[in-house]
Amino acid sequence: MTSGMIRIGPSILAADFRRLGEQIAEAEAAGADYLHVDVMDGRFVPNISIGLPVLEAVRAATTLPIDVHLMIVEPDRWVERFVRAGADVLTVHVEACDHLDRTLHAIAEAGAEPGVTLNPATPLVSLEEVLPIVRQVLVMSVNPGYGGQALIPSSLRKIQRLRTMLHDQNPSCRIQIDGGVNASNIAAVVAAGADTIVAGTAVYSAGRSVAESMALLRGAIAGTTPG
Ligand code: DX5
Ligand code: ZN
C-alpha cells in the first residue's frame, strides 16, 4: 500500500458552523476522501454536538461519503435514523453496546457500512469477536468528547496490534484514527498502520485555508509506507 491510498476525512466538528456549507465545499475541493460527523449526546461523552437535522444538511451539501461517529448511549435505537439521514459508514462504541454483534448487523441491514470503535482505555480484545463483520475499526487516539486534544501516544501501538489481528481475520477492513492527528504526527500514524485518518483542528484551523491544511497533511505522508 502507498500513501496515495490513505484516506483523509475532515471532521466538521472543527468547522465554522456559521458557514458549514462553504466549509464542506472547501474540503471537497481540497480532495477530502470523506467527511467525519461527530454525534455526542452529553451522556456517553461530556459534550453535546450535532444530530440528525445537521447530518441531513451535510448529506444534501456533498457527494462525499459520510462517516458518522456515534458517541451516544444505546446507539442501536438510532441506527436506522442515522442511515436514513445520510450515513454511509456508521461507527458505534463497543462501550455503548450491550449487543454489539446485533447492532453491527443492524447497521449493515439498514444499508451502511458497520464500523466499531473503542476508547483509549478499552483493550482491543473487547472487539476481537466482531472483527470479521466490520468494514472499519476506529482507534480513538483521544478520550472522545472534544476536538483539539493531543494524540495519546499509546494509540500507535494499538494500531500496530490491530493491524496484526486484522491480517488474519479481515484484511480489507480499514483502520481509522481519530483525535489529535496533525501534520507532525500523521506520518507516524500511517506507518503504524492506519489508512483512514480523521482530522478536525488540523484541517479547519485558523490562519490557514482548508486547501493548504489538506496539502500539508498529504505532503507529510508522501512516501510513507504504511505498516
Ligand atoms: C473527538 C471527536 C473527533 C474530533 C477530532 O471526540 O471524535 O472526531 O473532531 O478533532 P481533532 O482532529 O481536532 O482532534
Ligand atoms: Zn470522531
pLDDT at residue 207 in the model:
84
Give the phi and the psi of residue 177 in degrees, each rounded to 5.
Answer: -125, 140
Whole-number Å distance between alpha carbons of 105 and 98: 14
pTM (predicted TM-score): 0.97
Whole-number Å distance between alpha carbons of 91 and 71: 9
Whole-number Å distance between alpha carbons of 8 and 213: 11
pLDDT at residue 227 in the model:
72
**If you write DSSP's letter for every residue of 170-198 in order, what string do you get?**
-TT-EEEEESS--TTTHHHHHHHT--EEE
Taking only the tens place, the pLDDT of each residue in 92-131 is 999 999 999 999 999 999 999 999 999 999 999 999 999 9
| Strands of 196-199's sheet in order across | 7-10, 196-199, 174-178, 136-140, 113-118, 89-93, 66-71, 35-40
Confirm or reject: Cβ of 179 under 6 Å from ligand 1: yes
Confirm or reject: Cβ of 66 under 6 Å from ligand 1: no
Residues around ion ligand 2, judged by CB within 5 A, are: 38, 69, 178
Q: Which residue ranges in the chain fall short of pLDDT 70? A: 1-4
The best mutation among 23, 38, 93, 185 to test binding of ligand 1, ranked by most ligand atoms within 8 Å of the C-beta, falls on 38
All structural domains of the chain: 3-221 (3.20.20.70)
**How many C-beta atoms surround the C-beta of residue 20 within 10 A?**
16
Whole-number Å distance between alpha carbons of 20 and 24: 6
Q: Which three three-digit cell numbers place residue 113? A: 457500512
